[in-house]
Chain A
Amino acid sequence: MSVLVFVELKNKLSKAAKEAITYGKNLGSVTVITYGNAPDNVLSEMGEYGAEKIWVYRSLNEANDQVLCNFIVKAAKKTDAEFIVLSQDQTGKAVGPRVAAKIEAGHVSGAISLPENSDEFTVKTNVYSGKAIAYVTVHSKIKVISILPNSIQPVENKVDSSISNFEEDLGLGRIKIKDLKPLGEGIPLPEAELVVSAGRGLKGPENWGIVEDLAKSLGATTACSRPVADIGWRPHHEHVGQTGVAIRPNLYIAAGISGAIQHLAGVNGSKVIVVINTDPEAPFFKAADYGVIGDAFEVLPKLTTAINNFKSSQV
Protein backbone atom coordinates (compact mmCIF):
# COMPACT_ATOMS: atom_id res chain seq x y z
CA MET A 1 0.00 0.00 0.00
CA SER A 2 1.45 3.37 -0.97
CA VAL A 3 1.58 5.98 1.78
CA LEU A 4 2.45 9.64 1.35
CA VAL A 5 3.75 11.46 4.41
CA PHE A 6 4.09 15.24 4.43
CA VAL A 7 6.55 16.77 6.91
CA GLU A 8 8.10 20.17 7.54
CA LEU A 9 11.79 20.19 8.37
CA LYS A 10 14.24 22.56 9.91
CA ASN A 11 17.80 21.80 10.92
CA LYS A 12 16.68 18.77 12.80
CA LEU A 13 14.17 15.99 12.34
CA SER A 14 11.28 17.05 14.58
CA LYS A 15 9.43 14.63 16.80
CA ALA A 16 6.27 15.38 14.81
CA ALA A 17 8.02 14.27 11.61
CA LYS A 18 9.23 11.04 13.25
CA GLU A 19 5.71 10.37 14.48
CA ALA A 20 4.21 10.91 11.04
CA ILE A 21 6.76 8.66 9.31
CA THR A 22 6.33 5.96 11.95
CA TYR A 23 2.58 6.13 11.45
CA GLY A 24 2.97 5.90 7.69
CA LYS A 25 5.35 2.96 7.96
CA ASN A 26 2.67 1.07 9.86
CA LEU A 27 0.28 1.53 6.93
CA GLY A 28 2.51 0.65 3.99
CA SER A 29 5.52 1.78 1.99
CA VAL A 30 6.34 5.38 2.68
CA THR A 31 7.19 8.29 0.42
CA VAL A 32 7.96 11.42 2.40
CA ILE A 33 7.56 14.83 0.81
CA THR A 34 8.98 18.00 2.24
CA TYR A 35 10.16 21.42 1.09
CA GLY A 36 12.81 24.03 1.80
CA ASN A 37 16.49 23.57 2.43
CA ALA A 38 16.91 21.05 5.21
CA PRO A 39 20.44 19.59 5.17
CA ASP A 40 21.00 16.13 3.66
CA ASN A 41 21.73 14.43 6.95
CA VAL A 42 18.30 15.48 8.23
CA LEU A 43 16.69 14.17 5.06
CA SER A 44 18.46 10.85 5.20
CA GLU A 45 17.66 10.43 8.89
CA MET A 46 14.07 9.91 7.79
CA GLY A 47 15.17 6.55 6.38
CA GLU A 48 15.79 5.44 9.97
CA TYR A 49 12.06 5.67 10.58
CA GLY A 50 10.99 3.91 7.42
CA ALA A 51 10.95 6.52 4.62
CA GLU A 52 11.75 4.69 1.36
CA LYS A 53 11.48 7.62 -0.99
CA ILE A 54 12.16 11.18 0.03
CA TRP A 55 11.11 13.99 -2.28
CA VAL A 56 12.23 17.52 -1.56
CA TYR A 57 10.90 20.70 -3.14
CA ARG A 58 13.95 22.82 -2.46
CA SER A 59 12.91 26.08 -4.06
CA LEU A 60 9.65 26.17 -2.13
CA ASN A 61 10.14 28.18 1.01
CA GLU A 62 6.82 29.40 2.28
CA ALA A 63 3.95 27.52 3.81
CA ASN A 64 1.13 28.90 1.66
CA ASP A 65 -1.91 26.71 2.07
CA GLN A 66 -2.97 26.48 -1.57
CA VAL A 67 0.56 25.76 -2.79
CA LEU A 68 1.17 23.08 -0.16
CA CYS A 69 -2.19 21.55 -0.95
CA ASN A 70 -1.25 21.30 -4.64
CA PHE A 71 2.13 19.86 -3.66
CA ILE A 72 0.56 17.10 -1.58
CA VAL A 73 -2.15 16.29 -4.11
CA LYS A 74 0.32 16.07 -7.02
CA ALA A 75 2.68 13.86 -5.04
CA ALA A 76 -0.22 11.67 -3.93
CA LYS A 77 -1.26 11.16 -7.56
CA LYS A 78 2.31 10.31 -8.57
CA THR A 79 2.73 7.76 -5.82
CA ASP A 80 -0.81 6.46 -6.19
CA ALA A 81 -1.07 6.95 -2.44
CA GLU A 82 -3.94 5.37 -0.60
CA PHE A 83 -3.02 7.14 2.64
CA ILE A 84 -1.88 10.71 3.10
CA VAL A 85 -0.42 11.30 6.56
CA LEU A 86 0.45 14.63 8.16
CA SER A 87 0.82 16.11 11.60
CA GLN A 88 -2.12 17.93 13.17
CA ASP A 89 -0.02 21.02 13.81
CA GLN A 90 -0.68 24.56 12.58
CA THR A 91 0.32 23.72 9.02
CA GLY A 92 -1.55 20.43 9.12
CA LYS A 93 -4.71 22.15 10.30
CA ALA A 94 -4.57 24.57 7.37
CA VAL A 95 -3.65 22.03 4.73
CA GLY A 96 -4.94 18.56 5.69
CA PRO A 97 -8.67 19.25 5.32
CA ARG A 98 -7.95 21.29 2.20
CA VAL A 99 -6.24 18.31 0.57
CA ALA A 100 -9.11 16.05 1.61
CA ALA A 101 -11.70 18.38 0.10
CA LYS A 102 -9.74 18.70 -3.14
CA ILE A 103 -9.70 14.95 -3.79
CA GLU A 104 -12.95 14.20 -1.93
CA ALA A 105 -11.18 11.94 0.53
CA GLY A 106 -12.32 11.35 4.08
CA HIS A 107 -10.21 13.22 6.62
CA VAL A 108 -9.41 12.13 10.15
CA SER A 109 -8.42 15.15 12.14
CA GLY A 110 -6.22 14.49 15.14
CA ALA A 111 -5.83 10.71 15.01
CA ILE A 112 -4.45 9.30 18.27
CA SER A 113 -4.10 5.65 17.24
CA LEU A 114 -3.18 3.34 14.41
CA PRO A 115 -6.18 1.79 12.66
CA GLU A 116 -8.20 -0.72 14.63
CA ASN A 117 -8.45 -4.26 13.33
CA SER A 118 -11.76 -3.97 11.59
CA ASP A 119 -13.13 -4.34 8.08
CA GLU A 120 -13.23 -0.65 7.44
CA PHE A 121 -10.46 1.81 8.24
CA THR A 122 -11.20 3.11 11.74
CA VAL A 123 -9.00 5.20 14.03
CA LYS A 124 -9.48 6.97 17.33
CA THR A 125 -9.56 10.74 17.74
CA ASN A 126 -10.14 13.01 20.72
CA VAL A 127 -13.50 14.73 20.82
CA TYR A 128 -15.37 16.91 23.32
CA SER A 129 -12.09 18.68 24.06
CA GLY A 130 -10.46 15.52 25.29
CA LYS A 131 -13.41 14.47 27.42
CA ALA A 132 -14.18 11.58 25.05
CA ILE A 133 -12.74 9.50 22.24
CA ALA A 134 -14.45 8.84 18.90
CA TYR A 135 -13.80 5.89 16.60
CA VAL A 136 -13.89 7.47 13.16
CA THR A 137 -14.42 5.29 10.08
CA VAL A 138 -13.30 6.56 6.69
CA HIS A 139 -15.34 5.36 3.72
CA SER A 140 -13.41 6.80 0.79
CA LYS A 141 -10.66 4.90 -1.02
CA ILE A 142 -8.04 7.56 -0.28
CA LYS A 143 -7.74 8.58 3.36
CA VAL A 144 -6.17 11.73 4.78
CA ILE A 145 -4.98 11.30 8.35
CA SER A 146 -3.70 14.15 10.50
CA ILE A 147 -2.13 12.78 13.65
CA LEU A 148 -2.18 14.56 16.98
CA PRO A 149 1.32 15.43 18.24
CA ASN A 150 2.59 13.18 21.07
CA SER A 151 0.14 10.37 20.43
CA ILE A 152 2.29 7.97 18.41
CA GLN A 153 5.62 6.76 19.72
CA PRO A 154 8.31 7.18 17.02
CA VAL A 155 9.92 3.82 16.22
CA GLU A 156 13.19 3.31 14.38
CA ASN A 157 12.73 1.03 11.42
CA LYS A 158 15.58 1.51 9.03
CA VAL A 159 15.01 1.04 5.31
CA ASP A 160 17.02 1.84 2.20
CA SER A 161 15.99 5.25 1.13
CA SER A 162 16.56 7.54 -1.83
CA ILE A 163 16.42 11.30 -1.91
CA SER A 164 15.30 13.17 -5.01
CA ASN A 165 14.19 16.61 -5.99
CA PHE A 166 10.59 17.44 -6.72
CA GLU A 167 9.84 20.37 -8.93
CA GLU A 168 6.50 21.15 -10.53
CA ASP A 169 4.25 24.06 -11.11
CA LEU A 170 2.14 24.42 -8.00
CA GLY A 171 0.52 27.75 -8.79
CA LEU A 172 0.95 30.87 -6.71
CA GLY A 173 0.03 31.33 -3.08
CA ARG A 174 -2.39 34.17 -2.50
CA ILE A 175 -1.37 34.90 1.07
CA LYS A 176 1.50 37.36 1.39
CA ILE A 177 3.65 36.75 4.42
CA LYS A 178 4.78 40.10 5.80
CA ASP A 179 6.45 39.27 9.06
CA LEU A 180 7.05 36.58 11.62
CA LYS A 181 7.09 37.21 15.33
CA PRO A 182 9.02 34.21 16.58
CA LEU A 183 7.93 32.49 19.77
CA GLY A 184 11.48 32.38 20.93
CA GLU A 185 13.55 29.34 21.62
CA GLY A 186 12.29 26.26 23.32
CA ILE A 187 9.87 23.58 22.33
CA PRO A 188 6.43 24.81 21.25
CA LEU A 189 3.65 23.78 23.63
CA PRO A 190 1.80 21.32 21.38
CA GLU A 191 4.99 19.32 20.87
CA ALA A 192 6.34 19.55 24.42
CA GLU A 193 6.69 16.31 26.37
CA LEU A 194 7.13 18.10 29.67
CA VAL A 195 5.03 21.12 30.65
CA VAL A 196 5.05 23.27 33.78
CA SER A 197 1.95 25.40 34.12
CA ALA A 198 0.69 27.91 36.64
CA GLY A 199 -2.48 29.84 37.36
CA ARG A 200 -3.94 32.64 39.40
CA GLY A 201 -2.55 31.06 42.55
CA LEU A 202 0.81 32.57 41.60
CA LYS A 203 -0.63 36.02 42.45
CA GLY A 204 1.25 38.08 39.86
CA PRO A 205 3.55 38.00 36.84
CA GLU A 206 6.55 38.95 38.94
CA ASN A 207 6.34 35.54 40.61
CA TRP A 208 6.82 33.46 37.48
CA GLY A 209 10.54 33.04 38.11
CA ILE A 210 9.91 29.93 40.22
CA VAL A 211 7.79 28.45 37.42
CA GLU A 212 10.45 29.17 34.83
CA ASP A 213 13.19 27.80 37.07
CA LEU A 214 11.42 24.48 37.37
CA ALA A 215 10.71 24.38 33.63
CA LYS A 216 14.34 25.11 32.93
CA SER A 217 15.74 22.38 35.10
CA LEU A 218 13.29 19.89 33.61
CA GLY A 219 13.71 21.08 30.02
CA ALA A 220 9.98 21.75 30.03
CA THR A 221 7.81 24.29 28.24
CA THR A 222 5.73 26.73 30.30
CA ALA A 223 1.95 27.10 30.10
CA CYS A 224 -0.77 28.91 32.04
CA SER A 225 -4.49 29.04 32.78
CA ARG A 226 -6.78 31.33 30.84
CA PRO A 227 -7.30 34.15 33.36
CA VAL A 228 -3.55 34.50 33.66
CA ALA A 229 -3.26 35.09 29.90
CA ASP A 230 -6.35 37.31 29.85
CA ILE A 231 -4.97 39.71 32.46
CA GLY A 232 -1.68 39.79 30.63
CA TRP A 233 0.52 38.05 33.18
CA ARG A 234 1.61 35.61 30.51
CA PRO A 235 1.52 35.59 26.67
CA HIS A 236 -1.63 34.25 25.01
CA HIS A 237 0.13 31.37 23.32
CA GLU A 238 0.78 29.82 26.74
CA HIS A 239 -2.92 29.53 27.56
CA VAL A 240 -4.03 25.90 27.65
CA GLY A 241 -7.57 24.57 27.88
CA GLN A 242 -10.81 24.50 26.02
CA THR A 243 -10.30 27.91 24.42
CA GLY A 244 -6.52 27.75 24.36
CA VAL A 245 -4.06 25.13 23.23
CA ALA A 246 -4.90 21.47 23.81
CA ILE A 247 -1.83 19.51 24.84
CA ARG A 248 -0.96 15.92 25.68
CA PRO A 249 2.50 15.92 27.17
CA ASN A 250 4.00 13.03 29.12
CA LEU A 251 4.11 15.21 32.23
CA TYR A 252 1.93 18.19 33.15
CA ILE A 253 2.76 20.00 36.38
CA ALA A 254 0.06 22.47 37.44
CA ALA A 255 0.69 24.92 40.28
CA GLY A 256 -1.96 27.31 41.60
CA ILE A 257 -4.55 26.17 39.07
CA SER A 258 -7.96 25.14 40.40
CA GLY A 259 -8.70 22.63 37.62
CA ALA A 260 -11.90 24.05 36.17
CA ILE A 261 -13.52 21.77 33.61
CA GLN A 262 -12.53 24.14 30.79
CA HIS A 263 -8.92 23.98 31.87
CA LEU A 264 -8.97 20.20 32.19
CA ALA A 265 -10.39 19.93 28.68
CA GLY A 266 -7.06 21.04 27.26
CA VAL A 267 -4.75 18.99 29.46
CA ASN A 268 -6.50 15.76 30.40
CA GLY A 269 -4.74 13.93 27.59
CA SER A 270 -1.50 14.31 29.56
CA LYS A 271 0.02 10.99 30.57
CA VAL A 272 0.89 12.06 34.10
CA ILE A 273 -0.49 15.07 35.97
CA VAL A 274 1.07 16.61 39.09
CA VAL A 275 -1.05 19.15 40.95
CA ILE A 276 0.28 21.62 43.50
CA ASN A 277 -2.42 23.56 45.31
CA THR A 278 -3.01 24.95 48.81
CA ASP A 279 -6.65 23.91 48.71
CA PRO A 280 -7.17 20.16 49.30
CA GLU A 281 -10.64 20.57 47.75
CA ALA A 282 -9.31 21.92 44.45
CA PRO A 283 -11.06 19.94 41.68
CA PHE A 284 -7.76 19.41 39.89
CA PHE A 285 -6.74 16.72 42.42
CA LYS A 286 -9.46 14.46 40.98
CA ALA A 287 -7.64 14.48 37.65
CA ALA A 288 -4.17 14.21 39.15
CA ASP A 289 -1.79 11.28 39.42
CA TYR A 290 0.32 12.97 42.07
CA GLY A 291 -0.87 15.73 44.36
CA VAL A 292 0.96 18.07 46.67
CA ILE A 293 -1.22 20.04 49.06
CA GLY A 294 0.97 23.02 49.68
CA ASP A 295 2.04 26.52 48.81
CA ALA A 296 3.43 26.82 45.28
CA PHE A 297 5.87 29.45 46.50
CA GLU A 298 7.51 26.80 48.70
CA VAL A 299 6.85 23.64 46.73
CA LEU A 300 8.06 24.78 43.30
CA PRO A 301 11.59 25.76 44.45
CA LYS A 302 11.84 22.50 46.41
CA LEU A 303 10.80 20.51 43.39
CA THR A 304 13.34 22.39 41.28
CA THR A 305 16.08 21.51 43.75
CA ALA A 306 14.96 17.88 43.76
CA ILE A 307 15.05 17.78 39.96
CA ASN A 308 18.49 19.34 39.89
CA ASN A 309 19.76 16.80 42.41
CA PHE A 310 18.25 14.01 40.39
CA LYS A 311 19.79 15.29 37.17
CA SER A 312 23.25 15.58 38.64
CA SER A 313 22.96 12.05 40.09
CA GLN A 314 22.18 10.75 36.58
CA VAL A 315 25.48 11.78 35.02
Chain B
Amino acid sequence: MKILVCISKVPDTTSKINFVDNDTKFDENGVQYVVNPYDEWYALVRALELVEAQGGSVTTITVGTSADDPTIRKALAIGANDAVRIDAEPVDSFFVSKQIANYALKENFDIVMTGKETINYNGAQIGAMVSELLDMPFVSLASKLDVVSNVATLERDVQAGIEVVEVEFPFVVSASKGMAEQRIPNMRGIMAARTKPLNIIPADDQKPLTSVLKFELPSPKTGCKYLDPESMDELVELLHNESKVI
Protein backbone atom coordinates (compact mmCIF):
# COMPACT_ATOMS: atom_id res chain seq x y z
CA MET B 1 0.00 0.00 0.00
CA LYS B 2 1.39 3.39 -1.02
CA ILE B 3 0.00 6.28 0.98
CA LEU B 4 0.56 10.00 0.47
CA VAL B 5 -0.17 12.23 3.49
CA CYS B 6 -0.55 15.99 2.98
CA ILE B 7 1.12 17.86 5.81
CA SER B 8 0.98 21.57 6.54
CA LYS B 9 2.47 23.75 9.23
CA VAL B 10 0.26 25.91 11.44
CA PRO B 11 0.81 28.19 14.42
CA ASP B 12 0.69 26.32 17.72
CA THR B 13 -2.87 26.32 19.08
CA THR B 14 -1.98 28.72 21.91
CA SER B 15 -0.46 31.37 19.60
CA LYS B 16 -1.56 34.97 19.83
CA ILE B 17 -3.02 35.94 16.48
CA ASN B 18 -1.87 39.35 15.20
CA PHE B 19 -1.24 40.91 11.83
CA VAL B 20 1.39 43.25 10.40
CA ASP B 21 1.96 45.27 7.18
CA ASN B 22 -1.40 47.04 7.34
CA ASP B 23 -3.10 43.84 8.45
CA THR B 24 -2.10 41.98 5.31
CA LYS B 25 0.35 39.50 6.89
CA PHE B 26 0.25 37.14 9.83
CA ASP B 27 2.61 38.29 12.57
CA GLU B 28 5.07 35.42 12.99
CA ASN B 29 6.86 37.11 15.85
CA GLY B 30 7.27 34.60 18.69
CA VAL B 31 5.00 32.08 17.00
CA GLN B 32 5.82 28.37 17.29
CA TYR B 33 4.81 26.22 14.35
CA VAL B 34 3.50 22.69 14.61
CA VAL B 35 2.18 20.12 12.17
CA ASN B 36 -1.53 20.77 11.66
CA PRO B 37 -3.15 18.51 14.33
CA TYR B 38 -5.53 16.78 11.91
CA ASP B 39 -2.66 15.94 9.56
CA GLU B 40 -0.42 14.65 12.31
CA TRP B 41 -2.62 12.99 14.92
CA TYR B 42 -5.12 11.44 12.61
CA ALA B 43 -4.06 11.22 8.94
CA LEU B 44 -0.37 10.46 9.42
CA VAL B 45 -0.76 8.11 12.38
CA ARG B 46 -3.52 6.10 10.68
CA ALA B 47 -1.41 5.86 7.51
CA LEU B 48 1.48 4.51 9.56
CA GLU B 49 -0.74 2.00 11.34
CA LEU B 50 -2.08 0.67 8.04
CA VAL B 51 1.40 0.31 6.57
CA GLU B 52 2.78 -1.28 9.74
CA ALA B 53 0.01 -3.88 9.61
CA GLN B 54 -0.04 -4.55 5.88
CA GLY B 55 3.22 -3.33 4.36
CA GLY B 56 3.87 -0.41 2.07
CA SER B 57 5.15 3.10 2.51
CA VAL B 58 4.05 6.50 3.75
CA THR B 59 5.25 9.62 1.94
CA THR B 60 4.38 13.10 3.19
CA ILE B 61 3.95 16.07 0.88
CA THR B 62 4.02 19.74 1.78
CA VAL B 63 3.68 22.80 -0.40
CA GLY B 64 5.90 25.30 1.37
CA THR B 65 9.27 26.92 1.82
CA SER B 66 12.31 25.87 3.85
CA ALA B 67 10.46 27.31 6.86
CA ASP B 68 8.34 24.14 6.71
CA ASP B 69 11.28 21.77 7.04
CA PRO B 70 11.21 21.46 10.86
CA THR B 71 7.56 20.37 10.80
CA ILE B 72 8.28 17.98 7.94
CA ARG B 73 11.10 16.44 10.04
CA LYS B 74 8.62 16.00 12.86
CA ALA B 75 6.39 13.96 10.56
CA LEU B 76 9.41 11.86 9.56
CA ALA B 77 10.27 11.39 13.24
CA ILE B 78 6.79 10.03 13.88
CA GLY B 79 7.49 7.45 11.20
CA ALA B 80 6.86 8.55 7.61
CA ASN B 81 9.31 6.91 5.19
CA ASP B 82 10.12 9.95 3.12
CA ALA B 83 8.93 13.46 2.44
CA VAL B 84 8.36 15.71 -0.54
CA ARG B 85 8.31 19.48 -0.38
CA ILE B 86 7.06 21.47 -3.35
CA ASP B 87 9.12 24.58 -3.03
CA ALA B 88 6.67 27.50 -3.07
CA GLU B 89 4.58 29.71 -0.84
CA PRO B 90 1.17 28.06 -0.53
CA VAL B 91 -0.60 31.06 -2.07
CA ASP B 92 -4.11 29.66 -2.35
CA SER B 93 -5.94 26.37 -2.05
CA PHE B 94 -6.18 25.71 -5.76
CA PHE B 95 -2.47 26.41 -6.19
CA VAL B 96 -1.60 23.98 -3.38
CA SER B 97 -4.02 21.33 -4.67
CA LYS B 98 -2.64 21.56 -8.17
CA GLN B 99 0.93 21.01 -6.91
CA ILE B 100 -0.08 18.02 -4.81
CA ALA B 101 -2.14 16.52 -7.64
CA ASN B 102 0.63 17.01 -10.21
CA TYR B 103 3.02 15.11 -7.97
CA ALA B 104 0.51 12.37 -7.09
CA LEU B 105 -0.38 11.80 -10.76
CA LYS B 106 3.14 10.49 -11.36
CA GLU B 107 3.25 8.15 -8.37
CA ASN B 108 0.23 5.83 -8.24
CA PHE B 109 -0.71 6.21 -4.60
CA ASP B 110 -3.45 3.96 -3.27
CA ILE B 111 -4.63 6.52 -0.73
CA VAL B 112 -4.08 10.26 -0.54
CA MET B 113 -4.79 11.59 2.95
CA THR B 114 -5.33 15.13 4.19
CA GLY B 115 -6.46 16.57 7.49
CA LYS B 116 -10.04 17.71 7.88
CA GLU B 117 -8.89 21.32 7.70
CA THR B 118 -5.94 23.48 8.62
CA ILE B 119 -6.46 25.24 11.92
CA ASN B 120 -5.15 28.53 10.53
CA TYR B 121 -6.88 28.77 7.18
CA ASN B 122 -9.82 26.47 8.05
CA GLY B 123 -10.50 25.99 4.36
CA ALA B 124 -11.34 22.29 4.30
CA GLN B 125 -10.67 22.61 0.58
CA ILE B 126 -7.47 20.81 -0.38
CA GLY B 127 -8.71 17.22 -0.10
CA ALA B 128 -11.76 17.79 -2.29
CA MET B 129 -9.78 19.79 -4.84
CA VAL B 130 -7.01 17.19 -5.07
CA SER B 131 -9.57 14.41 -5.52
CA GLU B 132 -11.16 16.27 -8.43
CA LEU B 133 -7.80 16.93 -10.06
CA LEU B 134 -6.93 13.23 -9.69
CA ASP B 135 -10.44 12.10 -10.70
CA MET B 136 -10.72 10.04 -7.51
CA PRO B 137 -13.58 9.65 -5.05
CA PHE B 138 -13.26 11.78 -1.93
CA VAL B 139 -14.30 10.50 1.47
CA SER B 140 -14.62 13.66 3.53
CA LEU B 141 -14.42 14.04 7.31
CA ALA B 142 -13.63 10.40 8.02
CA SER B 143 -13.24 9.32 11.63
CA LYS B 144 -12.44 5.67 10.86
CA LEU B 145 -10.50 3.94 8.08
CA ASP B 146 -9.92 0.20 7.70
CA VAL B 147 -8.50 -1.65 4.72
CA VAL B 148 -9.09 -5.26 3.68
CA SER B 149 -7.39 -6.22 0.40
CA ASN B 150 -8.20 -3.37 -2.00
CA VAL B 151 -11.34 -2.16 -0.35
CA ALA B 152 -11.46 0.46 2.37
CA THR B 153 -14.29 0.83 4.84
CA LEU B 154 -14.68 4.24 6.38
CA GLU B 155 -16.95 6.14 8.72
CA ARG B 156 -17.55 9.76 7.95
CA ASP B 157 -19.60 12.67 9.23
CA VAL B 158 -22.57 13.58 7.07
CA GLN B 159 -25.50 15.89 7.75
CA ALA B 160 -27.69 13.11 9.06
CA GLY B 161 -25.16 11.31 11.23
CA ILE B 162 -22.27 8.96 10.68
CA GLU B 163 -22.17 7.16 7.38
CA VAL B 164 -20.38 3.87 6.81
CA VAL B 165 -18.97 3.72 3.29
CA GLU B 166 -16.87 1.45 1.13
CA VAL B 167 -14.50 2.60 -1.55
CA GLU B 168 -11.92 0.95 -3.78
CA PHE B 169 -8.38 2.18 -4.29
CA PRO B 170 -7.34 4.77 -5.20
CA PHE B 171 -9.17 7.47 -3.25
CA VAL B 172 -8.66 10.67 -1.28
CA VAL B 173 -9.73 10.94 2.35
CA SER B 174 -9.76 13.80 4.86
CA ALA B 175 -9.17 12.75 8.45
CA SER B 176 -11.10 14.08 11.41
CA LYS B 177 -10.91 13.31 15.08
CA GLY B 178 -11.12 9.66 16.04
CA MET B 179 -9.22 8.11 13.12
CA ALA B 180 -6.15 7.42 15.28
CA GLU B 181 -4.46 8.36 18.53
CA GLN B 182 -1.73 10.94 18.69
CA ARG B 183 1.84 9.54 18.71
CA ILE B 184 4.75 11.24 20.41
CA PRO B 185 7.99 10.75 18.45
CA ASN B 186 10.71 8.96 20.39
CA MET B 187 14.44 9.66 20.36
CA ARG B 188 15.13 6.94 17.79
CA GLY B 189 12.53 8.38 15.47
CA ILE B 190 13.95 11.86 15.84
CA MET B 191 17.49 10.61 15.04
CA ALA B 192 16.26 8.56 12.08
CA ALA B 193 14.33 11.53 10.71
CA ARG B 194 17.56 13.45 10.16
CA THR B 195 18.70 11.07 7.45
CA LYS B 196 15.38 10.24 5.82
CA PRO B 197 14.95 11.66 2.31
CA LEU B 198 13.28 15.06 1.94
CA ASN B 199 12.89 15.68 -1.78
CA ILE B 200 12.54 19.32 -2.73
CA ILE B 201 10.75 19.78 -6.03
CA PRO B 202 10.16 23.05 -7.91
CA ALA B 203 6.55 24.17 -8.18
CA ASP B 204 4.53 24.15 -11.40
CA ASP B 205 3.10 27.42 -12.68
CA GLN B 206 -0.40 28.10 -11.50
CA LYS B 207 -2.04 31.45 -11.03
CA PRO B 208 -3.90 31.71 -7.72
CA LEU B 209 -7.65 32.08 -8.07
CA THR B 210 -8.14 33.80 -4.72
CA SER B 211 -6.11 36.03 -2.44
CA VAL B 212 -6.46 37.56 0.98
CA LEU B 213 -6.89 41.33 0.78
CA LYS B 214 -6.49 41.88 4.51
CA PHE B 215 -7.12 40.40 7.94
CA GLU B 216 -9.11 41.73 10.84
CA LEU B 217 -9.45 40.76 14.48
CA PRO B 218 -13.01 40.29 15.68
CA SER B 219 -14.27 43.16 17.79
CA PRO B 220 -13.47 42.36 21.43
CA LYS B 221 -16.24 41.63 23.89
CA THR B 222 -17.24 44.78 25.71
CA GLY B 223 -17.03 43.06 29.05
CA CYS B 224 -18.89 40.48 30.98
CA LYS B 225 -22.02 41.36 32.92
CA TYR B 226 -22.08 39.30 36.12
CA LEU B 227 -25.29 37.96 37.58
CA ASP B 228 -26.01 36.52 40.98
CA PRO B 229 -26.64 32.76 40.89
CA GLU B 230 -29.96 33.51 42.60
CA SER B 231 -31.11 35.85 39.81
CA MET B 232 -31.62 33.53 36.91
CA ASP B 233 -34.92 35.25 36.06
CA GLU B 234 -32.91 38.39 35.47
CA LEU B 235 -30.53 36.50 33.15
CA VAL B 236 -33.47 35.19 31.14
CA GLU B 237 -34.88 38.70 30.99
CA LEU B 238 -31.56 40.03 29.64
CA LEU B 239 -31.28 37.25 27.07
CA HIS B 240 -34.77 38.11 25.89
CA ASN B 241 -34.83 41.91 26.02
CA GLU B 242 -31.23 43.04 25.88
CA SER B 243 -29.51 40.58 23.60
CA LYS B 244 -32.68 39.21 21.98
CA VAL B 245 -31.43 35.67 21.52
CA ILE B 246 -34.39 33.90 23.10
Min CB distance A133 to B, Å, is 5
- For the complex, is B218 an interface residue (Cβ under 8 Å from A)? yes
User: B17, A135: Cβ atoms under 8 Å?
Assistant: no
Interface residues of B in 121-156 (CB under 8 A from A): 121-133, 137-141, 143, 153, 155
Determine if A299 is an interface residue (Cβ-Cβ < 8 Å). Answer: yes
Which residues on the B side are within 8 Å of A88 (C-beta)? 124
Interface string of B7-45 (1 = CB under 8 A from A): 000010110010100000000000000000110000000
Contact present for B141 and A93 (CB under 8 Å):
yes
Task: Please determine whether B212 and A176 come into contact, CB atoms closer than 8 angstroms.
Answer: no
Which chain B positions have C-beta within 8 A of A292?
A: 226-229, 232, 235
Residue of A nearest to B208 (CB): A139
| Interchain CB contact under 8 A, A132 and B19 | yes
- Chain A residues lying within 8 Å of B218, measured Cβ to Cβ, are 130-133, 268-269
Partner-contacting stretch, out of B78-86, B196-204, B236-244: B236-244
- Report yes or no: A299 in contact with B125, Cβ–Cβ below 8 A: no
- Find out whether the CB atom of A137 lies under 8 angstroms from the CB atom of B224: no
For chain B residues 70-116, which have a beta carbon within 8 Å of chain A? 92-94, 97
* A175-B139, A289-B225, A292-B227 known; A137 vs B121 contact (CB < 8 Å): no
Chain A residues with CB under 8 Å of B237's CB are 310
Contact A137 B236 (CB under 8 A): no
Residues of B within 8 A of A29 (CB): none
| A108 touches which of B14, B164, B210, B221 (Cβ 8 Å) | B210
Which residues in A have their C-beta under 8 angstroms from that of B228?
292
Give the residues from 278 to 304 in chain A that come closer than 8 angstroms, CB to CB, to chain B. Answer: 285-295, 298-299, 302-303
Contact of A101 among B133, B160, B232, B238 (CB under 8 A): B133
Interface size on A, residues (CB 8 A): 101
Contact A237 B157 (CB under 8 A): yes
Docked complex Cα distance between A51 and B108 (Å)? 44
* Residue A250 CB within 8 A of the other chain: yes
Contacts of B160 in A (CB 8 A): 180, 182-183
A261 touches B14 (CB 8 A): yes
Q: Which of B57-65, B165-173, B186-194 contacts A (4 or more CB under 8 A)?
A: B165-173
* Contact A306-B236, Cβ < 8 Å, known A132-B215, A174-B137, A179-B163: yes
- A43 and B229 CA atoms in complex are apart in Å by 47
Q: Are B211 and A136 in contact (CB under 8 A)?
A: yes
Q: Which of A69, A122, A126, A286 contacts B221 (CB 8 A)?
A: A286
Instruction: Let me know if A207 is at the binding interface, CB within 8 A.
Output: no
B210 partner, pick from A89, A128, A139, A242, beta carbons under 8 A: A139
Would you call the interface of chain B mostly helix, strand, loop, or mixed? mixed
Residues in chain B near residue A129, CB distance under 8 A:
119-120, 122
Cβ of A246 under 8 Å from chain B: yes
| Distance (whole angstroms) from the CB of B3 to the closest CB of chain A | 18
- In the complex, are the beta carbons of B161 and A110 less than 8 A apart? no
User: CB distance B224 to A176 under 8 Å?
Assistant: no
Distance (Å) between the CB of A240 and the closest chain B CB? 12
Assuming the contacts A127-B121, A292-B226, asked whether A98 and B129 have C-beta atoms less than 8 A apart, the reply is: yes
- Least CB distance, A63 to chain B, in whole angstroms: 7
Task: Report whether B161 and A180 are in contact in the complex, using a CB–CB cutoff of 8 Å.
Answer: yes
The one of B155, B159, B215, B238 that contacts A89, using a Cβ cutoff of 8 Å? B159
B-side contacts of A268, CB under 8 Å? 218
Which of chain A's residues 53-75 have a Cβ closer than 8 Å to chain B? 63-66, 69
Can you sample 20 A-B contacts with CB below 8 Å? Answer: A91-B159, A100-B209, A101-B94, A107-B129, A107-B210, A109-B124, A126-B122, A131-B17, A132-B216, A137-B211, A138-B210, A175-B139, A175-B171, A177-B164, A178-B165, A179-B164, A271-B243, A289-B243, A290-B238, A292-B228
* Extra 11 A-B pairs, beta carbons < 8 Å, given A97-B132, A242-B13: A91-B159, A106-B94, A106-B209, A129-B120, A175-B167, A262-B14, A290-B235, A291-B225, A292-B229, A303-B232, A310-B233
